[in-house]
Chain A
Amino acid sequence: MLALSGMAMMLALVLAPATVAAAETHEAAPAAHAEPAAAAHGAAADAHHAHGNGVPDAHSLLTQFGYSYLTAYMFCLSLCAASLYLVFLHHLFDAGWSVPTRRISEHIASLMFPWMLILVIPILLLATRMYPWLTIDPATDHALDVKKGMFNKPMFFTLVPLLITTWGFIARSFRKNSLAQDKDGAAVWTRKNRVLAAWGIFYFSLTLTLVVFYLMKSLQHQFFSTMYGVYYFAGSMWLTFITTYVLAQYFSRPGQVLAQVVGKRQIHDLGVLFFAFTVFYAYIHFSQYFLIWNAAMPEETFWYVLREKGSWFWVGHLILFGHFFLPFVALLNQSIKSNLVVMIPVAAWAWLMHYVDMTFNIMPVLYPEGLHLSFWDLVCWPGLVAVLGYLFLKDFRSHPAYPLKDPRLKEAITHHEIPAPGQAAAHH
């Protein structure tokens, strides 16, 4: 009950300012935003090269709340989206080792609906305060004009919630089929999930790219990078592997619900994949930065130039060293990956680093002079994580902790592929 009350309070805390903002925004937006938008883009005839933060009413508490909330939301979306990817990949690869931890991923992914949908509402309500392009006349801005078919209010306000809803249905279908298999162990549920994964991964990859463009990249709508969707994916997977690792470690302690099925192999493999994505994220981010730096085209470099000003320069370095070098060096040793004394601080650090990464993407638009921590940061990030954490635990505890009758469970526990009974007979 205490947890439920806490969750309700957190939810109220994050939703209340947005609700207040809604009325305020809808009335004030058109007039109040026209001027700052024009100012941000200057009087230059070619607005394409006139980059600035351009955030209407940047000093308003509501705008600041919106940005902090968006940062926290994108952090949480990372967890849900990458968990859904883990479920997709599990079924597409016909994986065995990950069966015991799959329920964790299924539950986190299922938070997408209705919770991530509900939690996106404040962003939609505050959108006109946060996204300069929503208040700019496309006729005055080349970068916006070329993509006005995609960057317009009806598309933004329809697609973002709609796509999150559809992801939620996909995630819940996976979990529903998985839970159904717990009862009868029938192969049909595995087959259904494979079919779902087959088309779902394409749909999800494309639409996640779109939503990340809308929610994060469009804060500076002039910026373009073909890598951006992959970049968000890489960071999200990194965060989710270490989160799943910690949860698997916690729930596999003696007497806990996964103690019988999660072994050293699962723990080690999750650690290895976290390590692999430490490198993969660095590879992706380096590639994006390096190619933009080397080509030195102003329509691309402005995005990084902004992030090299003031204390953002040091935040960039923190990502370089903290997101890559530190975990890379810490996890090089094989045995470290199952050493909780090292892994728990690494996990906490990874959470911080992913939040810093989201901040690095979002906040320079609002605070171009440098990193600025506000009260809202301290409320939104822990608040959203607490809400979703509570909901996850509630789901996790009210269902079997692992897929009880998954056809690959035996293989996951014994580490051996079990051949067909006919073959077994031939052996003995």
Chain B
Amino acid sequence: MAKIANASGGAEATGSRGHHAPPVLKVADAPRELERAPLVLNNRSLGWITDAVAGVCENPMPKWWWPAFILSAGTMGMMFSLLAYLVSTGTGVWGLNTSANWAWDITNFVFWIGIGHAGTLISAVLFLLRQKWRTSINRAAEAMTIFAVACAGIFPVFHTGRVWFALYPGYLIPMPNSNWIWPQFRSPLLWDVFAVSTYGTVSLLFWYVGLIPDLATLRDRAKTKLRKLGYGVFSLGWSNSNRHWSNYEKAYLILAGLSTPLVLSVHSIVSFDFAVSQVPGWHATIFPPYFVAGAIFSGFGMVLTLLIPMRSLFNLHDLITVRHVELMCKVLLATGSIVGYAYGMEFFIAWYGGSPYELWAFLRNRVADPFIFGPLFKVPTAPYWWAYWMMISCNVISPHLFWSRKLRTNVVFVWIVSIFVNIGMWFERFVIIVTSLHRDYLPSSWGYFTPSWVDVFTFVGSFGLFMTLFLLFIRFLPVIAISEVKGVTPQADPHHPLGGAKEHH
């Protein structure tokens, strides 16, 4: 590798063509307009970073926290009440009918599992790809992952109404019933159990391992015995020694390596719930990568929905910068485009393959709106055309607004689009599940699924659980990975042109 001469001011770069390369390579600085914004703004010192992040959970919570917590906990309580009502009454309290025997329950499951993807993707995949910008957002995203997986887990357990059957004799647990009949191991529903539980466990471990150095920081700064004890127990005697860091880095790398295939596998297996079948609209070979891309898309949507308000409420603008927001918008744009390709390919192959059932499912159940596609293809309006086009608008059209730098650096606008992404991804699962099921091969059993109030409020209640856990996370744990953010500042790197162990205040 060449030595770099200081060529600031646009000095000539000497090309190293031929076999007699010059010993010193002069490379010009980037034009000012293409320079990258720093990951930590205003040259904040290492001490400032610790104070800013640890202060969030050390200082009294702001006034809005308690009303938000009470509202969230109340909504969560409503969900558990409705689940109790479901268990005591049966799935008749939902809007299910003969053909649409899966609806909001599995939609909600896939929606929450999808949201649970961004955390581990940011932590593991972006770590392996050495994307330093992940450090400001990975902690909150990982927390979000675990809380989303907790929300997701509720729906498969409760979706038959008879929750005890989920456990013993279990349709979710591989255990034979009293007739010694085992669950169907060839069913992807059972694979889901292994995939989601493995993912949840590894994500939790990954999150916890990453927390240890920061928990030790909170322990060392604790002013009460209770806090010292609590953080002390969970920081496992961390002393910042070289040996501890060495072991920590190895463990983190191994967990990142283990988590990466899990990120792909979980939603691939969720996609198998549908794609292994022969149901028109479900059986498409592109489902696994399409679901994974969609999950990352929805996960990043939720990360933006949570972190944009958080950075303002806790004054973390120097750590979660506009550059971070912009980069996440680009991830939304990329994954939204992949999802758009998959939507297009599904419809194209429904036509290309020549299966009338497949084309029916797409055209007459989903796409044919009363204004353009219905009249164009001369088919009646699809019952759920509004859901399909809601999905397309939110997932395919809205991310393309981020081609504009002006729009993706406007955090209020980004926040609004992130809400659209959340809505669109819920509708995607609704479209896949309900529009494929509600009209099967027997026209006499066709029906239109309409959710009951229990459906709606159970789903709303799952947000209560999610937000309750997230607010508790803000209250007790560092919302940004303190040690990791420090690691990407110039002063943490003695080899950096601006580096060295210098303190700046």
- A residues sitting closer than 8 Å to B (CB atoms) are 48, 92-93, 142-143, 145-147, 150, 182, 185-187, 190, 198, 202, 205-206, 209, 224-230, 255-261, 263-264, 272, 279, 283-284, 287-288, 290-292, 294-295, 297, 299, 400-402, 404-405, 407-411, 413-414, 416-421, 423-424, 426-428
Picked from A287, A407, A427, the residue with its CB within 8 Å of the CB of B504 is A427
Picked from B16, B34, B278, the residue with its CB within 8 Å of the CB of A258 is B16
Q: Are A414 and B4 in contact (CB under 8 A)?
A: yes
- In chain B, positions 258-284 with a C-beta closer than 8 Å to chain A are 261, 264, 268, 272, 275-278, 283-284
Q: Are B349 and A421 in contact (CB under 8 A)?
A: no
CA distance A284 to B293 in the complex (A): 13
Q: Mark B345-356, 1 if CB is under 8 A from A, else 0.
A: 110110111110
The interface-forming segment of B7-15, B73-81, B82-90, B102-110 is B7-15
Contacts of A418 in B (CB 8 A): 29-30, 35, 497
Q: Are B25 and A416 in contact (CB under 8 A)?
A: no
- B residues sitting closer than 8 Å to A (CB atoms) are 1-2, 4, 8, 10, 13, 15-22, 25, 27-36, 38, 43, 128, 132, 261, 264, 268, 272, 275-278, 283-289, 330, 334, 337, 341-342, 344-346, 348-349, 351-355, 403, 490, 493, 495-498, 502, 504
Contacts of B288 in A (CB 8 A): 283, 287, 291
Closest CB pairs A-B (n = 4) = A260-B2, A407-B30, A226-B286, A146-B354
CA distance A160 to B29 in the complex (A): 43
Q: Are A224 and B352 in contact (CB under 8 A)?
A: yes
Q: Which residue of A lies closest to B38 (CB)?
A: A419
Q: Are A426 and B43 in contact (CB under 8 A)?
A: yes
Instruction: Give 15 CB contacts A-B under 8 Å.
Output: A185-B10, A224-B349, A227-B289, A257-B17, A261-B16, A292-B285, A295-B278, A299-B353, A400-B17, A404-B13, A409-B13, A414-B497, A416-B497, A417-B38, A418-B497
Q: Are B337 and A185 in contact (CB under 8 A)?
A: no
**A421-B8, A427-B43 known; A413-B36 Cβ under 8 A:** no
Contacts of B16 in A (CB 8 A): 257-261, 401-402
CA distance A24 to B31 in the complex (A): 60
Q: Are B261 and A279 in contact (CB under 8 A)?
A: yes
Q: What's the least CB distance linking A41 to chain B, in Å? A: 14
Contacts of A290 in B (CB 8 A): 276
Picked from B275, B355, B496, the residue with its CB within 8 Å of the CB of A416 is B496
Q: Are B490 and A410 in contact (CB under 8 A)?
A: no
How many A-B contacts at CB < 8 Å in the complex?
A: 179
Contacts of B490 in A (CB 8 A): 416, 419, 427
Contacts of A145 in B (CB 8 A): 354
Q: Are B346 and A427 in contact (CB under 8 A)?
A: no
Q: Which residue of A lies closest to B36 (CB)?
A: A417
**A185-B28, A187-B33, A413-B25 known; A401-B289 Cβ under 8 A:** no
Q: Which residue of A lies closest to B19 (CB)?
A: A255
CA distance A185 to B38 in the complex (A): 22
CA distance A417 to B38 in the complex (A): 8
CA distance A363 to B342 in the complex (A): 28
CA distance A274 to B277 in the complex (A): 33
Q: Are B28 and A226 in contact (CB under 8 A)?
A: no
Q: Which residue of A lies closest to B277 (CB)?
A: A295
CA distance A71 to B502 in the complex (A): 60
Contacts of A283 in B (CB 8 A): 264, 268, 288-289
* Main SS class of interface, A: helix
> Besides the contacts A413-B2, A416-B495, A428-B498, what 9 more A-B pairs have beta carbons closer than 8 Å?
A147-B354, A226-B285, A259-B21, A404-B13, A408-B30, A410-B27, A410-B28, A419-B490, A426-B43
Q: Are B353 and A257 in contact (CB under 8 A)?
A: no
Q: Are A226 and B342 in contact (CB under 8 A)?
A: yes
Q: What's the least CB distance linking B199 to chain A, in Å? A: 16
CA distance A292 to B276 in the complex (A): 8
Q: Are B35 and A419 in contact (CB under 8 A)?
A: yes
Q: What's the least CB distance linking B376 to chain A, in Å? A: 14
**A283-B264, A405-B13 known; A257-B351 Cβ under 8 A:** no
Contacts of B348 in A (CB 8 A): 226
Interface centre among A187, A264, A290, A404 (most CB of B within 10 A): A404
Q: Are B276 and A291 in contact (CB under 8 A)?
A: yes
Q: Which residue of B lies closest to A401 (CB)?
A: B17
Q: What's the least CB distance linking B445 to chain A, in Å? A: 22
Contacts of A146 in B (CB 8 A): 351-354
Contacts of B132 in A (CB 8 A): 417
CA distance A405 to B490 in the complex (A): 24
**A283-B268, A419-B35, A426-B43 known; A294-B276 Cβ under 8 A:** yes
Picked from B1, B32, B276, the residue with its CB within 8 Å of the CB of A420 is B32
Contacts of B498 in A (CB 8 A): 419, 423-424, 427-428
CA distance A287 to B25 in the complex (A): 48
Q: What's the least CB distance linking B20 to chain A, in Å? A: 8
CA distance A264 to B1 in the complex (A): 8
CA distance A67 to B30 in the complex (A): 49
Q: What's the least CB distance linking B504 to chain A, in Å? A: 7
Q: Are A255 and B21 in contact (CB under 8 A)?
A: yes
Q: What's the least CB distance linking B489 to chain A, in Å? A: 11
Picked from B2, B8, B264, B287, the residue with its CB within 8 Å of the CB of A261 is B2
Q: Are A407 and B283 in contact (CB under 8 A)?
A: no
Contacts of B4 in A (CB 8 A): 410, 413-414
Q: Which residue of B lies closest to A262 (CB)?
A: B1
Q: Which residue of B lies closest to A273 (CB)?
A: B129
Contacts of B497 in A (CB 8 A): 414, 416, 418, 424
**A261-B16, A410-B4 known; A147-B352 Cβ under 8 A:** yes
Contacts of A413 in B (CB 8 A): 1-2, 4, 25, 27
Picked from B15, B276, B354, the residue with its CB within 8 Å of the CB of A182 is B15
Q: Are B29 and A263 in contact (CB under 8 A)?
A: no
Q: Are B31 and A186 in contact (CB under 8 A)?
A: yes
Q: What's the least CB distance linking A237 to chain B, in Å? A: 13
Interface centre among B8, B34, B346 (most CB of A within 10 A): B34
Contacts of B502 in A (CB 8 A): 427
Q: Which residue of A lies closest to B34 (CB)?
A: A407
CA distance A411 to B8 in the complex (A): 13
Q: What's the least CB distance linking B382 to chain A, in Å? A: 20
CA distance A126 to B334 in the complex (A): 39
